[in-house]
């Protein structure tokens, strides 16, 4: 409280009262100052108003004493200059104090006061807040009846008004900085920092929950930027931001994390069912078309949903889960909604674990190769072995390649893993051959796309073959169709290099990708392996029969070998033989097995099959 004092010390004490004030404390501090001024100048009311230039209005900041029974809406809270009384109107651009006395002028103002207070006559002093020569507000005093203001008093009030003007300018600047710090500049939505602050508050123990979190990602936004230009992409994002604002509740948190990523946290608590419904609603209104310049475009959106429990789930956990769910929504083809589940949790834990431990697994001997024989169906003779990697995981048991190969590819470990596989398979192969086993057998090794495009791939293969004394033609590398299509030029170069060493190439999982005939013709490929999806049901599916037939025909016309994968039934095996595909692999014949077990079969040289083949198919197989 500012004590009653001399005029000069009054200014000093107001200055110190206002010194440390910011946006949050401004109103309270202003009230304290106004109260002191009311007392000091012996007036009845004092107020501070700011000018909102954009709205052309004067806005009440604080007043003293507080009014009783303020109507709602408060007619004094925001007053537009256009419709204001003559005193306020005169103050819109005023920079010098305006004093109004009962006996002077301004009949309509007196009228307003009379109506609102019931008091017939007042005296007023209105001292403009001036910042850079411009009026930014007013410090006002009202005295019932009459009062004379000395010029010395008015000068002191000007000094105090200047202090308020400074404070206001500072608060506005601080607010602007705070706004910039918490908003995305393209869309004016909240940014990551604002989102995190907000979520921290929502997830405090004792707050209502569950707190639903939606992670949104536009499908193929990049294509939009690429084809329509970046400003079109920006426009598109801005339109979506407005659409989110209009279709969501005013208190919902809508943040843009950059690019095409948005996060929404609805203000209302929601369970999983409600959250999924809401996510679907959002997904639908986002998916509606937007006009960008001349074009009308739409983008699907994928939404990942996760729930946070206040006091239990951390902000980063909720966001990570929503992000995981988003990934799963996207891998389902995009334009979908996925809620984070326990199954996802298990899968992502596994993935994290793999990422963490795979590197050491490559070097510490916990990777193993199993081998699956491939036979000539007519004789049962083993013609090839496919090396299939497994990971003897310390706690999770023997992991199939599906659990870690893709993680290796995503984390730059594919090269290391691949080198280990090639080396180990060749080393084992050479050892068998030294003991007179596997001499007419081909070793098949799976190669991941990343390996194939690495610059020194061909030399590395050459080194390994040389090291173990294996001729190139005893090796067959299996590549998938996808890699072939993705980088035809590079692939062709690598494959040619391999061909020069006599290394064979097979296209794996044939029929699932997009290789056209022309691709096949352009590449030095020796064989195709018919994807097991087509082979498994041979015998009871006519569709698959037609596809398998055409693959075999195609291979024949290009002079390529053909292998049937995934032979699980005698029916499938017989059908393959009937179509002229004799080489096959599958659980019916043999499962992938450890080296020691496959060695037993190599000694036999063949795996007896009872297929009950028609005579013609049983002839002596060419070796
Ligand atoms: P792939 O190259 O198509 O390998 C054949 C997969 O089919 C093997 O699964 C094998 O166990 C399975 N399989 C064989 N016969 C049958 C059958 O009759 N029925 C059924 N349902 N499945 C059969 P696996 O060992 O789990 O390998 C999966 C995939 O992992 C492989 O598919 C291959 O793409 C990849 N992979 C395996 N080893 C390696 C490797 O060393 N490097 C790379 N890059 N990928 C590998
Ligand atoms: Ca394979
Ligand atoms: Ca395959």
Torsions phi, psi for 434 (to 5 deg):
-60, -30
Ligand 1: residue of 361, 387, 390, 401 to mutate (most ligand atoms within 8 A of CB) is: 401
Q: Which residues pair with 530 in a beta bridge?
A: 510, 564
How many Å apart are CA 623 and CA 613, to the nearest integer? Answer: 19
pLDDT of residue 370: 98
Ligand 1: residue of 532, 567, 594 to mutate (most ligand atoms within 8 A of CB) is: 532
User: Ligand 1 within 6 A of 374 CB?
Assistant: no
Cα–ligand 3 centroid distance for 531 (angstroms) = 5
Instruction: Starting from the CA of residue 592, give the closest ligand.
Output: 1
Peptide bond into 65 cis (omega under 30): yes
Cα–ligand 3 centroid distance for 446 (angstroms) = 9
Mean pLDDT of the chain: 88
Label residue 355 by pLDDT band (50, 70, 90): confident
Cα–ligand 3 centroid distance for 611 (angstroms) = 23
* CATH 3.20.20.450, domain 351-431+446-611, yes or no: yes
Q: What number does the ligand 1 atom closest to the CA of 565 have?
A: 15
Is the Cβ–Cβ distance between 195 and 255 less than 8 Å? yes
Cα–ligand 1 centroid distance for 508 (angstroms) = 10
User: Ligand 1 within 6 A of 50 CB?
Assistant: no
Instruction: Starting from the CA of residue 444, give the closest ligand.
Output: 2
Identity of the highest mean pLDDT range in 363-367, 513-517, 581-585: 581-585
- pLDDT over 60 at 578, yes or no: yes
Q: Mean of the pLDDT values across residues 302-329?
A: 94
Q: What number does the ligand 1 atom closest to the CA of 509 have?
A: 3
Q: Mean of the pLDDT values across residues 280-293?
A: 87
Superfamily of 7-181 according to CATH: GAF domain (3.30.450.40)
pLDDT of residue 408: 85
Q: What number does the ligand 1 atom closest to the CA of 418 have?
A: 42
User: In this predicted structure, which of 159-163, 177-181, 451-455 has the lowest mean pLDDT?
Assistant: 451-455
Per cent of the chain over pLDDT 70 is 93
How many Å apart are CA 403 and CA 501, to the nearest integer? Answer: 33
Q: Mean of the pLDDT values across residues 112-136?
A: 79
* CATH 3.30.70.270, domain 192-340, yes or no: yes
- pLDDT over 90 at 104, yes or no: no
Residue nearest to atom 33 of ligand 1 (CA): 446
- pLDDT over 80 at 70, yes or no: yes
Cα–ligand 3 centroid distance for 443 (angstroms) = 15
pLDDT tens digits, residue range 401-432?
Answer: 988 898 888 778 888 899 999 999 999 999 99
pLDDT tens digits, residue range 211-244?
Answer: 999 999 987 777 777 777 778 888 889 999 999 9
User: Ligand 1 within 6 A of 400 CB?
Assistant: yes
- pLDDT over 50 at 384, yes or no: yes
366 DSSP assignment:
-
pLDDT of residue 610: 86
Residue nearest to atom 37 of ligand 1 (CA): 388
In whole angstroms, how far apart are CA 131 and each of 165, 392, 591? 6, 74, 85
Q: What number does the ligand 1 atom closest to the CA of 370 have?
A: 25
Is residue 363 packed enough to be buried (19+ CB in 10 Å), middle (13-18) or exposed (0-12)?
Answer: exposed
Q: Which helix (H) or strand (E) holds 459?
A: helix 457-468
Cα–ligand 1 centroid distance for 438 (angstroms) = 21
- pLDDT over 60 at 516, yes or no: no
CA angle 437, 443, 445 (to 5 degrees): 150
pLDDT of residue 484: 62
Cα–ligand 2 centroid distance for 614 (angstroms) = 30
The larger pLDDT score, comparing residue 545 to residue 199, is at 199
Cα–ligand 2 centroid distance for 441 (angstroms) = 16
- pLDDT over 80 at 618, yes or no: no
Is the Cβ–Cβ distance between 238 and 186 less than 8 Å? yes
Q: What number does the ligand 1 atom closest to the CA of 447 have?
A: 44
Label residue 622 by pLDDT band (50, 70, 90): very low
Is residue 166 packed enough to be buried (19+ CB in 10 Å), middle (13-18) or exposed (0-12)?
Answer: middle
pLDDT of residue 483: 65
Give the domain ranges of the chain.
Answer: 7-181, 192-340, 351-431+446-611
Label residue 106 by pLDDT band (50, 70, 90): low
Coil vs helix vs strand at 289: coil
How many Å apart are CA 31 and CA 63, to the nearest integer? Answer: 6
- Dihedral sign, CA of 537, 540, 543, 548? positive
Label residue 338 by pLDDT band (50, 70, 90): very high
Cα–ligand 1 centroid distance for 388 (angstroms) = 6
User: Ligand 1 within 6 A of 408 CB?
Assistant: no
pLDDT tens digits, residue range 128-147?
Answer: 999 888 999 999 999 988 89
User: Ligand 1 within 6 A of 476 CB?
Assistant: no
pLDDT of residue 282: 95
User: Ligand 1 within 6 A of 537 CB?
Assistant: no
User: Ligand 1 within 6 A of 401 CB?
Assistant: yes
User: In this predicted structure, which of 52-61, 269-278, 288-297 has the lowest mean pLDDT?
Assistant: 288-297
- pLDDT over 60 at 386, yes or no: yes
pLDDT of residue 115: 59
Residue nearest to atom 25 of ligand 1 (CA): 388
- State the distance between the two ends of the chain, measured CA to CA, in whole angstroms: 106
Cα–ligand 3 centroid distance for 508 (angstroms) = 5
User: Ligand 1 within 6 A of 508 CB?
Assistant: yes
Cα–ligand 1 centroid distance for 516 (angstroms) = 24
Does this model's pTM top 0.85? My answer is: no
Nearest Cα neighbor of 139 from 99, 169, 79, 199 is 99
Residue nearest to atom 7 of ligand 1 (CA): 566
């Amino acid at each position: 409280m500012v004590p009653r004092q001399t005029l000069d010390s009054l200014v000093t004490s107001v200055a110190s009262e206002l010194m440390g004030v910011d946006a949050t404390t401004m109103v309270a501090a202003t009230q304290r100052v106004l109260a002191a001024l009311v007392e000091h100048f012996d007036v009845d009311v004092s107020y501070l108003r700011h000018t909102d230039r954009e709205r052309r209005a004067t806005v009440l900041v604080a007043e003293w004493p507080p009014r009783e029974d303020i109507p709602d809406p408060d007619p004094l809270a925001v007053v537009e200059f256009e419709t204001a009384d003559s005193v306020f109107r005169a103050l819109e651009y005023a920079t010098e104090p305006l004093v109004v006395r009962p006996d002077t002028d301004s009949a309509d103002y007196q009228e307003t006061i009379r109506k609102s207070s019931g008091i017939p006559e007042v005296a007023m002093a209105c001292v403009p807040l001036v910042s850079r020569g411009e009026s930014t507000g007013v410090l006002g005093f009202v005295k019932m009846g009459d009062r004379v203001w000395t010029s010395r008093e008015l000068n002191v009030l000007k000094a105090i008004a200047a202090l308020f003007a400074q404070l206001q300018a500072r608060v506005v600047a601080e607010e602007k900085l705070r706004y910039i710090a918490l908003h995305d500049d393209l869309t004016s939505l909240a940014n990551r920092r604002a989102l995190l602050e907000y979520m921290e508050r929502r997830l405090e123990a004792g707050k209502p929950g569950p707190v639903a979190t939606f992670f949104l990602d536009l499908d193929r936004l990049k294509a939009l930027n690429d084809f329509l230009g970046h400003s079109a992409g920006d426009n598109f994002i801005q339109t979506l931001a407005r659409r989110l604002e209009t279709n969501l509740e005013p208190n919902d948190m809508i943040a843009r994390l950059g690019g095409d990523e948005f996060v929404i946290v609805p203000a209302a608590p929601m369970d999983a069912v409600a959250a999924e419904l809401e996510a679907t609603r959002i997904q639908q209104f986002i998916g509606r078309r937007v006009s960008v310049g001349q074009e009308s475009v739409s983008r699907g959106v994928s939404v990942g949903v996760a729930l946070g429990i206040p006091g239990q789930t951390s902000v980063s956990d909720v966001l990570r889960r929503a992000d995981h769910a988003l990934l799963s929504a996207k891998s389902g083809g995009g334009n979908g909604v996925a809620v984070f589940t326990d199954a996802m949790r298990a899968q992502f834990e596994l993935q994290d674990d793999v990422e963490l431990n795979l590197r050491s697994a490559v070097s510490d001997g916990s990777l193993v190769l199993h081998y699956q024989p491939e036979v000539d169906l007519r004789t049962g003779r083993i013609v090839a072995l496919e090396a299939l990697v497994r990971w003897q995981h310390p706690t999770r048991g023997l992991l199939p390649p599906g659990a870690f190969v893709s993680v290796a590819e995503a984390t730059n470990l594919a090269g290391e893993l691949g080198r280990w596989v090639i080396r180990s398979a060749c080393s084992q192969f050479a050892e068998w051959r030294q003991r007179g086993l596997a001499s007419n057998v081909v070793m098949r090794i799976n190669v991941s796309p990343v390996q194939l495009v690495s610059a020194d791939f061909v030399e590395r293969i050459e080194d390994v073959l040389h090291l173990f004394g294996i001729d190139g033609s005893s090796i067959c590398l299996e590549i998938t169709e996808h890699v072939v299509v993705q980088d035809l030029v590079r692939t062709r170069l690598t494959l040619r290099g391999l061909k020069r060493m006599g290394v064979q190439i097979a296209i794996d999982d044939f029929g699932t990708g997009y290789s056209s005939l022309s691709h096949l013709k352009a590449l030095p490929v020796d064989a195709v392996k018919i994807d097991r999806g087509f082979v498994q049901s041979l015998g009871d599916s006519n569709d698959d029969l037609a596809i398998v037939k055409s693959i075999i025909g195609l291979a024949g016309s290009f002079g390529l070998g053909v292998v049937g994968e995934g032979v699980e039934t005698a029916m499938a095996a017989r059908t393959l033989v009937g179509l002229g595909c004799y080489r096959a692999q599958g659980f019916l014949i043999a499962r992938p097995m450890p080296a020691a077990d496959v060695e037993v079969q190599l000694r036999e040289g063949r795996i007896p099959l009872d297929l009950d083949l028609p005579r013609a198919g049983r002839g002596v197989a060419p070796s």
